Structure 1
Amino acid sequence: MDIEIKVLGPLEVSVGGVSIVPTANKPSQLLAMLAINAGHVVTVNALTEEIWDYRPPRSGVPTLHTYILKLRRKLQQALAGQPGVSSKDILLTRRSGYVLDVEPDIVDAVRYDRLSAAGRAAVNEGDSETASRMLGEALELWRGPAFVDVPAGPQLAIESMRLEENRLSDLHLRIAADLRLGRHYQLLGELATLCARHPLLENFCAQHMMALYRSGRQSQALEAYRRLRASMVEQLGVEPSARVRRLHNAILTGHAAMDDPKFVYSA
Structure 2
Amino acid sequence: MRLAAVVTRQSGGIMRFGVLGSLTMDDNGIGRLPSAPKQRQLLALFLMNAGHFTPASACIEELWGSDPPRTVTATLQTYILQIRRSLAAAPEIGSMAQARKVLITGNRGYHLIVPADSLDVLEFQRWLRDGRRAALRNDDETQVRCLRMALAQWRGPALGDVPVGPLLRPQVERLEEARIAAMRECFDAELRLGRHQDILGELRTAAARHPCDEEFQAQYMLALYRSGQQLKALDVFHRLRATLAEQLGLGPSRTIRSLHETMVHAHGELSLEVIGA
The two structures have a TM-score, normalised by structure 1, of 0.92
- Residues in 2 aligned to 1:12 and 1:264: alpha-carbon distance in whole angstroms: 43
CA separation of 1:131/1:225 partners in 2, compared to 1, >3 Å: closer, same or farther?
same
Tell me the residue number matched to 1:178. 190
% identical equivalent positions: 43
1:249 to 249, 254, 261: 261
Q: Gaps spanning 5+ residues in structure 2: where?
A: 1-7, 9-13
- Residues in 2 aligned to 1:186 and 1:264: alpha-carbon distance in whole angstroms: 21
Q: Deviations over 1:148-186 (max 9, x none)?
A: 111111111111011100110110010000000000111
Q: Gaps spanning 5+ residues in structure 1: where?
A: none
- Residues in 2 aligned to 1:126 and 1:54: alpha-carbon distance in whole angstroms: 49
1:247 Cα offset (Å): 0.4
Local SS of the residue matching 2:262:
helix
What are the residue-to-residue correspondences of 1:180-259 with 2, within 5 Å? 180-254=192-266, 258-259=269-270
CA separation of 1:81/1:49 partners in 2, compared to 1, >3 Å: closer, same or farther?
closer
The two structures have a TM-score, normalised by structure 2, of 0.89
What are the residue-to-residue correspondences of 1:131-142 with 2, within 5 Å? 131-142=143-154
CA separation of 1:229/1:216 partners in 2, compared to 1, >3 Å: closer, same or farther?
same
Q: Deviations over 1:3-55 (max 9, x none)?
A: 10110000001234432212222111111111222233211011111111243
Local SS of the residue matching 2:275:
coil
Match status 1:127 vs 2:133: no
2:33 to 21, 37, 44: 21
1:264 Cα offset (Å): 5.8
- Residues in 2 aligned to 1:84 and 1:47: alpha-carbon distance in whole angstroms: 21
CA separation of 1:191/1:84 partners in 2, compared to 1, >3 Å: closer, same or farther?
closer
Q: What is the alpha-carbon root mean square deviation over aligned residues? A: 2.0
Contact kept in structure 2, 1:20 and 1:71, CA below 8 Å = no
- The code of the aligned residue for 2:222 comes to M
User: How many residues are paired up?
Assistant: 265
Match status 1:263 vs 2:276: no
CA separation of 1:96/1:81 partners in 2, compared to 1, >3 Å: closer, same or farther?
closer
Local SS of the residue matching 1:245:
helix
Tell me the residue number matched to 2:5. none
Match status 1:162 vs 2:169: no
- The code of the aligned residue for 1:227 comes to R
